Chains A and B, each alone.
Chain A
Amino acid sequence: MTFEYAPAPESRSIVSIKPKYGHFIDGKFVNGRNHFATINPANEEVLSQIALGSVSDVDKAVIAAQKAYTKTWSKLSGKERGKYLYRIARILQERAREFAVLETLDNGKPIRETRDIDIPLVAAHFFYHAGWADKLDYAGMGKSPQPHGVAGQIIPWNFPLLMLAWKVAPALATGNTVVLKPAETTSLTALLFAEVCQQAELPNGVVNIVTGDGSTGSAIVNHAGIHKIAFTGSTEVGKKIARAIAGTNKKATLELGGKGANIVFDDAPIDETVEGIVNGIFFNQGHVCCAGSRLILQEGIADEITEKLKARMSKIRVGDPLDKNTDLGAINSREQLNKINELSAAGDAEGAQRWSPSCNLSDKGFWFAPTIFTGVTQAHRIAREEIFGPVLSILTFRTPQEAIEKANNTPFGLSAGVWSEKGSRILWATQQLRAGVIWANTFNKFDPTSPFGGYKESGWGREGGKHGLAAYLKEGK
């Protein structure tokens, strides 16, 4: 007799999804004209119809944001702004389960992660920035640093509400107003957040949410009334934005792709390292810009780690994202699944060895088993291109210098990990690595107090912590 866990689904009765949504402009929900479906990627059920924001919708939102900026938000003291942020944070905590279930339905990520990671971090970001609102004189940006005005924010589908929090909380704390566009496939929690803004009695127009696709995002980027762009997404789109705003007065922070190196030295704490590797690449189905997608193992322990990793991967529970015991949920969209399949096929074609544990994947919805490729070298596409899925490329090294060279030999530079029980080795390695976030003996840990951002093609600027405030402020006197 084996210990099979009976299904333990979180109830979805706590959320009520409307059949159709509009935009949230000037404190009110307004109808959209054209709509597209948003689905549950775990079973392809249509959840709702989302409005496709047009140039004129964006224009209305920007005008509302400008009005709110000049008439109310910029006139409030930091202390008063902080009160609104604290109120939003508390409401988010009170409604945490509702947000967690809705995020899981719309995104496909497991309820364990939305419940224990996404939503608590969302509230933490609002609490953290609420605290800054009346202390900006001490942010290291001179006396009375000033907001830019209207921030245009475009966020991805991998952490829908968390990326909203990363953008909205610092913008509001620093006195900016916001026009935000959630990702095409994951708009529902942003629209529920709009309800929270109403519930918190946030002044109209301070937060505006326009849903839509790339064309809507482009309308935001190119709108003359926007003073600052904050974007998280692919490097490809990031480059387009950089081109579009070149020669304008718009400020920008771009948080783009990555191909994080996770370096394991032979004196690493083996069992916890295996956990960290799993968390580095299989957390959130690998839909993480800072994922540890390149595992770089010292040759002497490569076989042992790989064997233990395979044994551990056999315990990963893939399935219904609403089941509380699920570890790996659904791939967010068919488009993303196709991309993962395409790059994995390239790994096969280029001679890397693919391995996955046996899993029962549902025929409906978008699924991909946790996968590793061994025998990968720097010259493989799967060692260079961001897969953005549960696929790990395993490389080896002989000397510490070689590990660093391999880790840095990429156009990206967002994250890296170092595993060793030797403190001096960790300090040495982290000084050599060209990545914005480096974890030692852990991976994929996030905290609002810690700045996050990339080197090279992984982006511009930092989000979070004191450094993140700089993106939303003009230097004071």
Chain B
Amino acid sequence: MSFYGIVDGSEGSLKNFLSQLPGVDQVGAEARAAMLATRSIKTTSKRWAIDTAISMVDLTTLEGADTPGKVRALCTKAVRPDPTDLTIPSVGAVCVYNDMVSIARTHLDAIGGQHVPVAAVSTAFPSGRASMEVKIQDTQDAIDAGAAEIDMVIDRGAFLSGKFGLVFDEIVKIREVCGDRAHLKVIFETGELVTYDNVRKASYLAMLAGADFIKTSTGKVAPAATPPVVLVMLEAVRDFYAMTNRRIGVKPAGGIRNTKDAIKQLVLVNETVGPEWLTPEFFRIGASALLNDLLMQRMKMDDGYYASPNYVTID
């Protein structure tokens, strides 16, 4: 087997490749992210950024208390974020647990949301602590129910104990299950990997194993999608593109709650990998509360004042 002609998938070849990656200087990476956070995005560029961010939101509900009713409401909002303004784009996807996929898909199709894909979290999300058989079946179920995107978690325990081959094999197997039917997003849970060096290694591991997207977090662990973590992942997809000519997407998820944070993410993308990544095809933001703040900021740009939260729908 050969993966992009770079590794053969063996533990040895992976260790070899990952060990020659340059380190990440923590202070420097954080300073760069902090500097980019000072960009001042106003007027026309702010409006463009808000609409672009809306189109990139993976509108998410991942609660034990999720019900069909809650998921249908989320789908309605995903297609028409503001029912009073149809110029607002639909979001990037709806992201739910495995058992909610068919409910979401059916409802989206029924309300004219055929263009909105359903993403399913998979492989024993969020911990990833299950047998490979279970993880494969979990993924298969979601795809059969209509998921076009699979958000899998890596085995952080294996990663942290240096078993890169194990992590790699799991991603390869899930990639096989997805085949042509579903896009694969690989979640690292960066809050558990802790160091930027680990984030860089995990990024390459996932990209080489066939990920379409690399994703920061489950949303269940803090810290999640901090700007320096996203910066390091963007650098990885940029350099991977230079090596392989293949563009991998990035999905920050967790902790991005307001427009300001979302625009900071877009600035990171713009100045690290460039405008080619500024589409929902290559950049998504996993969030739930963010969408309403984007809508309220958009209303403010039209009306000149901040409306009460009652002027946007809660779900």
A interface residues with partner B (beta carbon < 8 Å):
1-8, 112, 116, 267-273, 275-276, 315, 324-325, 421, 441-442
Contact yes or no, A3 B22, CB < 8 A? no
B45 in the interface, Cβ–Cβ < 8 Å?
yes
How many whole Å from A220's CB to the nearest CB in chain B?
Answer: 38
Within 8 Å by CB of B23, from A2, A116, A421, lies A421
Say yes or no for B179: interface residue by CB 8 A criterion. no
Pick from B35-43, B212-220, B286-294 the stretch touching chain A: B35-43
Residue of A nearest to B47 (CB): A6
Interface centre among A3, A4, A275 (most CB of B within 10 A): A3
Which B residues are in CB contact (< 8 Å) with A275? Answer: 28, 31-32
Contact in complex: A2, B41 (CB < 8 Å): no
Q: Which residues of A contact B278 (CB under 8 A)?
A: 2-3
**Min CB gap A328→B, angstroms:** 13
Instruction: Kindly provide the distance from the CB of B230 to the nearest chain A CB, expressed in whole angstroms.
Output: 13
**Contact of A271 (CB < 8 Å), options: B24, B48, B49:** B24
Q: Which of B28, B52, B267 contacts A442 (CB 8 A)?
A: B28
The A-contacting residues of B in range 3-62, CB under 8 angstroms, are: 22-25, 27-29, 31-32, 38-46, 48-49, 52
Closest A residue, CB atoms, query B31: A275
CB contacts (< 8 Å) of A421 on chain B: these are: 22-23, 25
In angstroms, Cα B29 to Cα A441, docked, is 11
Known contacts A2-B278, A271-B28; 11 additional CB pairs below 8 A are: A3-B48, A4-B45, A5-B41, A6-B43, A268-B22, A269-B28, A271-B235, A272-B25, A275-B31, A315-B271, A324-B38
- B interface residue numbers (CB < 8 A to A): 22-25, 27-29, 31-32, 38-46, 48-49, 52, 235, 266-267, 270-271, 275, 278
Contact partner, B32, options A116, A268, A272, Cβ 8 Å: A272
**Across the two chains, which residue of chain B brings its CB closest to A301?**
B22
Residues of B within 8 A of A325 (CB): 39-40
CB contacts (< 8 Å) of B24 on chain A: these are 269, 271-272
- A239 CA to B46 CA, complexed, in Å: 53
Q: Which residue on chain A has the smallest CB distance to residue B269?
A: A3
Chain A residues within an 8 Å CB radius of B235: 271
> Quick one: given A275-B31, A441-B28, A442-B28, are A1 and B42 in contact (CB under 8 Å)?
no
- A-B pairs, 9 with minimum CB distance: A272-B28, A8-B40, A272-B25, A269-B25, A324-B40, A270-B22, A6-B45, A2-B275, A421-B23
CB closest residue in chain A, given B30:
A272
Minimum CB–CB distance for A268 against chain B, Å: 7
User: A3 touches which one: B27, B32, B40, B45 (CB < 8 A)?
Assistant: B45
In angstroms, Cα B26 to Cα A272, docked, is 9
Contacts of A276 on B, CB cut-off 8 Å?
28
In the bound assembly, the distance between CA atoms of A116 and B39 in angstroms comes to: 12
Contact partners of B266 in chain A: CB under 8 A: 3
Q: Which residues of A contact B45 (CB under 8 A)?
A: 3-6
CB distance from A156 to the nearest CB of B (A): 25
Can you show 6 pairs from A to B with CB atoms below 8 A apart? A5-B39, A5-B40, A8-B42, A116-B38, A324-B38, A324-B39
- With A and B bound together, what is the CA distance between A442 and B31 in angstroms? 10
Asked if B46 contacts A6 (CB within 8 A), the reply is yes
Which partner residue on chain B sits nearest A1 by CB separation? B48
With CB as the reference atom, state the residue of chain A lying closest to B24: A269
In the complex formed, the residue of A with least CB distance to B236 is A271
Shortest distance from the beta carbon of A440 to any chain B beta carbon, whole Å:
10
Beyond A3-B266, A275-B28, A275-B31, whether A269 also contacts B23 by CB under 8 A is yes
* Nearest Cβ on chain A to B238's Cβ, whole angstroms: 9
A112–B271 CA distance with the chains assembled, in angstroms: 17
Nearest-CB distance from A324 to chain B (Å)? Answer: 4
Chain B residues with CB under 8 Å of A272's CB are 24-25, 27-29, 32
Q: A residues within 8 A CB of B42?
A: 6-8
A270 vs B27: C-alpha distance when bound (angstroms) = 13
Chain A residue contacts of B25, Cβ below 8 A: 269, 272-273, 421, 441
How many angstroms between the C-alpha atoms of A205 and B282 in the bound complex?
A: 64
- Chain B residues whose C-beta falls within 8 Å of the C-beta of A269 in the assembled complex: 22-25, 28
Q: Which residue of A lies closest to B45 (CB)?
A: A6
**B40 and A442 contacting across the interface, CB-CB below 8 Å:** no
A7 to B28, CA, bound (A): 28
List residues of chain A with CB within 8 A of the CB of B48.
1, 3
Q: Which residues of A contact B270 (CB under 8 A)?
A: 3
Determine the residue in chain B with the shortest Cβ distance to A112. Answer: B38
Minimal beta-carbon separation of B24 from chain A (angstroms) = 6
Distance to closest chain B CB from A132 (angstroms): 28
Chain B residues whose C-beta falls within 8 Å of the C-beta of A5 in the assembled complex:
39-41, 45
**Residues of B close to A8: CB separation below 8 A:** 40-42
Contacts of A1 in B (CB 8 A): 48
Identity of the chain A residue whose Cβ is nearest the Cβ of B41 in the assembled complex:
A5
Contact, CB under 8 Å: A3 / B275: yes
In this complex, what residue of A is CB-closest to B278? Answer: A3
Q: Which residues of A contact B271 (CB under 8 A)?
A: 315
> How far is A4 from B43 in the complex, measured between Cα atoms in Å?
11
Q: How far is B176's CA from A460's CA once the two chains are assembled, in angstroms?
A: 68
* A288, chain B: closest CB distance, angstroms: 17
Q: Which of B23, B25, B270 has the most CB of A within 10 A?
A: B25
A459–chain B nearest beta-carbon distance, Å: 28
A79–B32 alpha-carbon span in the complex (Å): 40
Cα A269 to Cα B196 with chains together (Å): 11
A2 contacts which chain B residues (CB < 8 A)?
275, 278
A421 to B197, CA, bound (A): 12
Residues on B with beta carbons closer than 8 Å to the beta carbon of A116: 38
Cα distance A267–B52 in the bound complex, in angstroms: 38
Most chain-B Cβ atoms within 10 A of its Cβ — which of A1, A6, A315? A6
Name A304's closest neighbour in chain B (CB-CB): B22
Q: Is the CB of A271 within 8 A of B41?
A: no
CA distance A1 to B49 in the complex (A): 11
Contact B275 A6 (CB under 8 A): no
* Nearest CB on A from B50, distance (A): 12
Q: Indicate which residue in A7, A267, A441 contacts B27 across the interface (CB closer than 8 Å).
A: A441
Report the separation of the CA atoms of residues A83 and B70 in the bound assembly, to the nearest whole angstrom: 62
How close is A420's CB to chain B, nearest CB, in angstroms?
10
B23 near A6: Cβ-Cβ < 8 Å: no
Nearest residue (CB) in B for A116 is B38
CB distance from A183 to the nearest CB of B (A): 28
Alpha-carbon distance A315/B278, docked complex (angstroms): 16
Chain A residue contacts of B22, Cβ below 8 A: 267-271, 421
B240 → chain A closest CB, angstroms: 14
Q: Smallest CB-CB separation from A4: which chain B residue?
A: B45
Give the CA-CA distance A271 to B46 in the complex, in Å. 28
For residue B41, which residues in chain A have a CB less than 8 angstroms away from its CB?
Answer: 5-6, 8
User: Which chain B residues lie closer than 8 Å to A112 at the CB level?
Assistant: 38
**B49 and chain A: residue at smallest CB distance:** A3
Cα–Cα, bound, A407→B5 (Å): 40
CA distance A116 to B40 in the complex (A): 14
- Cα A241 to Cα B168 in complex, Å, equals 67
Closest A residue to B200 using CB positions: A271
The smallest C-beta distance from A326 to any residue of chain B, in angstroms, reads: 10
